[in-house]
Structure 1
Amino acid sequence: MATSSAEWQSPPLPELPQAFRISPLIRLTLLLFYVALTVPLPFLAKVTQAPVPPSALAVALGLGAIALYAALSERVIVTNTGIQVAYPRWVPDLLRKGWSLDWSEITSLKPRSTGQGGLVYYFLTQAGEAKLLPMRVAGFARLVSLVQTKTGIDTTDVRPLSQPWMYLILLGLTLLLLLIDAWTIWTALTVGMPA
């Protein structure tokens, strides 16, 4: 049976606009890591009679959790005319500021090495601006494919900053730390109780 030439064409690009959110694995891992690092502190402040009241510490840590959640609510929106990094309306500009670029403004995608030896990429514009390409989004390969299609910039060597296995290891260590936290909190609550 003969096949038509249309069957051999590459699949069509997804309809735009499309939104890319930070990977759920990354969001879960970082939120749990924050909880693991901070949850025992109010209990320890009470037991050690720290100068900071435990209730004030708990409120401050709660505000920190909200700020972290806000940062992790980043969305990359790709349209036919450009790319935008945005946050929900409830996130004040003071915490995180988004940006947007028209495809026609983008001249290149330049790599820069990080202090840990990884690579991040910046969009360079005709006006000399540099905007960081978000690299922790779910569907990163699809995102860079859309960037290549819309700008003509070769993105074949662009890889995510961190691989999923790195976050799986961090998640496992975080769960272990949460177990230690549970023991720490239990010990703090039982200190001074009669035997």
Structure 2
Amino acid sequence: MTANSANTPASVFRLSLLIRVTLLSLYVALTVPLPFLAQVTDAPVPPMLLWMGIGFGFVALYAVLTERVILDEQGIQVSYPSWVPGFFRKGWSLPWSEVKELKPRTTGQGGIVYYFLSRDGKAYLLPVRVARFTQMVQQVQAKTGIDTTDVSTLAQPWMYMILLGCTLLLLLIDGWTISTALAMGKF
């Protein structure tokens, strides 16, 4: 499937900025104090090794958060930038003509996710954390004829705003923790 059709440009839907900022900030808040605490407590793991692991983890998380959904005249495609290795995150594509139905499934936590079912029986998870989700779902309905009026996101934006608020509070506590570690004079 190509990114553009002959006359109509593709619509690209990226992961919501609120979700990306929240998850990256939470990662930083949870990991950055570790090398400082390892230094202060004389932990057996060298702080430099922790910094390397934190850096690798940040790049891996950022790679996951670069997911994008592309809709064009031919079908739907979930892809990642070329710098994200295929073995790490695989995308998928599904021509509109192969879409049989959109099937809801209950998650273990009681939420609902949706899968495209293809004519050959394969299931493809509908990404629900993209910006402009409603617009994406309307385009899916227009291309497939499947009623999407009941399709909604798994988590509402207010949930991520609460998580971001808690993360900012945690970052303040991290600042205090790091300044205390630095004051102990082991750096």
Q: Bin the TM-score by the shorter chain.
A: over 0.9
Aligned residues: 179
Query: 2: distance between equivalents of 1:144 and 1:16?
Result: 17
- Partner residue in 2 for 1:147: 140
- Partner residue in 2 for 1:4: none
Query: 2: distance between equivalents of 1:53 and 1:192?
Result: 17
- Partner residue in 1 for 2:87: 94
For residue 78 of structure 2, give the secondary structure of its aligned residue in structure 1. strand
Q: Quick one: which of 149, 157, 169 aligns to 2:150?
A: 157
Q: Quick one: which of 24, 33, 57 aligns to 2:50?
A: 57
Question: Which digits, 9 at most, give the CA deviation of each residue in 1:53-79, with x for residues without a partner?
Answer: 100110011100000000000000001
Q: TM-score, normalising length from structure 2?
A: 0.93
Query: 2: distance between equivalents of 1:157 and 1:128?
Result: 23
- Partner residue in 2 for 1:131: 124
Query: 1: distance between equivalents of 2:106 and 2:183?
Result: 49
Query: 1: distance between equivalents of 2:132 and 2:118?
Result: 24
Query: 2: distance between equivalents of 1:192 and 1:137?
Result: 45
In the alignment, structure 2 segments of 5+ residues that lack a partner are 1-7
Q: Does 1:108 align with 2:101?
A: yes
- Partner residue in 1 for 2:4: none
For residue 70 of structure 1, give the secondary structure of its aligned residue in structure 2. helix
Deviation at 1:16, TM superposition (A): 3.4
State the percentage of identical aligned residues.
Answer: 66
- Partner residue in 2 for 1:10: none
| Equivalent residues in 2 for 1:5-44, closer than 5 Å | 15-44=8-37
- Partner residue in 1 for 2:110: 117
Query: 1: distance between equivalents of 2:87 and 2:29?
Result: 26
Query: 2: distance between equivalents of 1:168 and 1:20?
Result: 20
Root-mean-square deviation (Å): 1.0
Q: Quick one: which of 167, 172, 175 aligns to 1:179?
A: 172
Following TM superposition, the consecutive aligned residue runs of length 4 or more in structure 1 with deviations greater than 3 angstroms are: none
- Partner residue in 2 for 1:78: 71
In the alignment, structure 1 segments of 5+ residues that lack a partner are 1-14
Query: 1: distance between equivalents of 2:110 and 2:66?
Result: 26
Q: TM-score, normalising length from structure 1?
A: 0.90
